[in-house]
Structure 1
């Protein structure tokens, strides 16, 4: 009887030992197994924080066009795309409005108001709509991108695609005070205007600066404060265009 108990106890101990070894082996194999494969995480998509187009040609408006910044800046944009249109041709072709007719002033949404060539005669400038119509004489309509009313980031998005941007700003590149504007009565209604109005080509940007070709300056890619420039552009009605190839 005692021998049977001893045998049974020995058998049970052997079974427990084998089971423990098996369990240990299983645990070891699981812990050292290769992890399940999974696709690598996709890189996050972030917008560039800077970009510059170095080869936009610089064309000066003077001495021929004292007030011709809008058409001269357009000439830079067209030249960049290989359309070597003279600024004087653009000045001749853009729609015109008289500076004053009766009790009404000219409307820059309709055409260039007054005299473009000299400060000796009255004049002021032109807004984006006549520039769009003029540009369509040189590019197919699908190529023209109207950025008017967009946000500054939309302008920089075009720079990222290698497209310089024509804009209306002011000659100080910063927000003007209210006393630098006046209200005109046109045949179509009232409009606020400023004699500080100016047009340039945006050629680049970074986190601090915007880079421009100014038809009044003899240096390319001038850097101006980004925040100030954006505020000036917004104040002047967010007017901008570019061209797609």
Structure 2
């Protein structure tokens, strides 16, 4: 689901980021070295001997600056036609970049669909499962769809071109962009911390947990500070803090689809 919702005041979970201890300054002198230089200067009538400065260690070398951007990735908006179709639009951008001139409506129409969760005669809350179908209707009321059925749909439209890398490490995902390929990813709107919004049973009695504000985007670039994505909600490239994106992407199951 990709409509903007109020940010929760008490999210279900927050993943803490590990602090990074600062490296010691490369030019810092040890106390014995300073004492030796002082003694040398006081024991002679000549000018004080220069204080030797240790060479910087390899650990103190600042990291190289990174910046990668995939060229010519189209930015499409889901609005107004697909208010809950961010996944279809993110997939359309990836399909277009791969050379298939398909529209967002054609992709939305190709998605398998399931029912919105509702109470049945037995009092149970039952609905479709985003692991199998799009829950609801991307043109109207709907929740969304996850990587497996989306990957299957994209392979039907453009066979053999895509790779589902869900479950890969964050470094592997960044490596896809470094290699010059965009990736469809699942995260949240504005990289807000996801929270459990609703639970229901699917037709096979499997528990479905839906986290909001779920959102799909096309990852097109990154540097040491930001991730750059074509956002279906705005129809433009947006920049989000790299650390925030990492946290949210992993909380949403590390879902991603790219090209072979």
Are 2:227 and 1:205 aligned? no
Do the aligned partners of 1:124 and 1:195 also contact (CA within 8 Å) in 2?
no
1:113 to 135, 152, 155: 135
Distance 2:173 2:64 in 1: 13
2:241 to 197, 216, 225: 225
Are 2:193 and 1:171 aligned? no
1:130 to 149, 152, 162: 149
| SS of the residue 2:201 aligns to | strand
Query: What is the CA-CA distance between 1:59 and the residue it aligns to?
Result: 1.0
- TM-score, normalised by the number of residues in structure 2: 0.69
Do the aligned partners of 1:167 and 1:239 also contact (CA within 8 Å) in 2?
yes
| Number of residue pairs matched by the alignment | 192
RMSD: 1.9
Query: What is the CA-CA distance between 1:47 and the residue it aligns to?
Result: 9.6
Are 2:71 and 1:54 aligned? yes
Find the counterpart in structure 2 of residue 187 from structure 1.
Answer: 203
1:67 to 84, 94, 107: 84
Counterparts of 1:18-167 in structure 2 under 5 Å? 49-100=66-117, 102=120, 103=124, 104-118=126-140, 122-141=141-160, 143-167=161-185
Query: What is the CA-CA distance between 1:191 and the residue it aligns to?
Result: 2.4
Larger Cα-atom Rg: 1
| SS of the residue 2:156 aligns to | coil
Distance 1:79 1:48 in 2: 30
Distance 1:237 1:195 in 2: 13
- TM-score, normalised by the number of residues in structure 1: 0.73
Q: Which runs of 5+ in 2 are unaligned?
A: 1-62
